[in-house]
Amino acid sequence: MNRLVLLILLITHHMHAEEFLYPVAAYRDHEGFTKVLVLYQKSLEHIELWQWDLATQRAHKALLSSFTPAGVRMLPDMTGFSFVDSGRIRIKEFCKRSPKAIDIYEPVYDIGVVEWADNETGYFSAKMRDHYSIFSVTRDGDTCCLVTKPGADCMYPKKIGEYLFYIERTAVQTDDLFAPGIDTKEHYTYRIMKTAYQGDATAKVPPLCVANFDTRPIVFLTMVSAREGFVIEHATVIDKHDPVVIFLYHRLLCDEAGMWSHRYLFSFSVPSELLLPTSNRLYESLLPLLPRPIHNYIYYVDLVPGNDGSACLFPCRYSLHTFMKEVIPHSGIHHSFAPFFVDSLLLYGGTLISASAPYMTLDHDGQVCFQFPVLDFPTDSD
């Protein structure tokens, strides 16, 4: 049966658009073995989540194919994981056969990635009426609005200790047209905000502006501590006819006096076809391509032209000490995704093709196995 399944997978790959395979989470099971959750995008309509054993390389499905998982996050106690499936939050515990749906009775929609404050309470941004707000939710579905602001969107929340950081996007009217070819006088301003995290939202503490990006759009806030974070800037208008989308990566720092500053670090480019509505679009959009801060480096991918005129996403490394960028060569003509750190290894996924990692194969027992490229980890990273 496994050989038939793999044959069907390989045939399907050559008949349809590109397929993608990449790690999204990792944990240790009760016996101490490292397992990696891997997302397999066969098509925009067929997304699978697999569980991969790092030692044996063997893999099996972590969910039934009837689910369409996105935004996979491990629970804090590592007994399971959450994901968003067609707008519903679900939790899959490893000891249980099927995932549990968290039913939310508040009129919210367009739910973002669910992060976990503790093992019983998560938080996320979602749309209520016309604007995005930030909510907490328990496993039983009890929901509470943590952050909201009339006329503004509050998105990309990140809890660090007792604080909650997020991006605030506010609509502003102006007398001048914001961009050529856009017939509107409304545009947005963007700020990164910090407030006290209140799981029950009983205390109302005025938020503090950490960084003001004015009219420069920012997305995907990442906080590594209460004093350091990163955020991505993109163009005000992304033209679907442009072959690439350019992003700017910024670092946020708070000094000993409590003063925040932000600094541009580097840019990276992504093929438009991976983000805009095409047959090769990534179901999780930019998520598998997001830069990852690991120790004193930022690992990310950037579009690198080849000798034959083509261009592929290559893994890159940016040093926070030297402020220098390094492109990491890899074999094969395919896109690589942002390196994933697990057990002191840097793995990366990307386009699924035969004879070049990442790829899917069968071992001598007929078991499905995954292979991922591994990057060398710098010796000066401690």
Between 382 and 102, residue with greater pLDDT: 102
User: Quick one: average pLDDT of 310-326?
Assistant: 93
200 — pLDDT class (breaks 50, 70, 90): low
Per-residue confidence (pLDDT) for residue 230, from 0 to 100: 98
Summarised one tens digit per residue, pLDDT across range 254-298 is 999 999 999 999 999 999 999 998 888 999 999 999 999 998 999
105 — pLDDT class (breaks 50, 70, 90): confident
What whole-number distance in Å separates Cα of residue 257 and Cα of residue 173?
35
154 — pLDDT class (breaks 50, 70, 90): very high
- Rounded to 5°, the CA angle 92-113-72 comes to 35
Summarised one tens digit per residue, pLDDT across range 22-80 is 999 999 988 889 999 999 999 999 999 999 999 999 999 999 999 999 999 999 999 99
User: Quick one: average pLDDT of 160-169?
Assistant: 96
Per-residue confidence (pLDDT) for residue 382, from 0 to 100: 45
User: Quick one: average pLDDT of 174-193?
Assistant: 68
**pLDDT at residue 1 tops 50:** no
Per-residue confidence (pLDDT) for residue 292, from 0 to 100: 97
Q: What's the token pair of residue 100?
A: 């549990």
What whole-number distance in Å separates Cα of residue 111 and Cα of residue 127?
7
Mean pLDDT of the chain: 88
- 349 three-state secondary structure: coil
Q: What would you report as the CA-atom Rg of the chain, rounded to the nearest whole angstrom?
A: 21
DSSP 313-330: EEEEEEETTT--EEE---
Could you tell me what percent of the chain has a pLDDT over 70? 87
Q: What's the token pair of residue 103?
A: 């039913």
305 — pLDDT class (breaks 50, 70, 90): confident
- 112 three-state secondary structure: coil
A 10 A CB-CB count for 232 gives 21
CB 43 within 8 A of CB 9: no
Per-residue confidence (pLDDT) for residue 307, from 0 to 100: 61
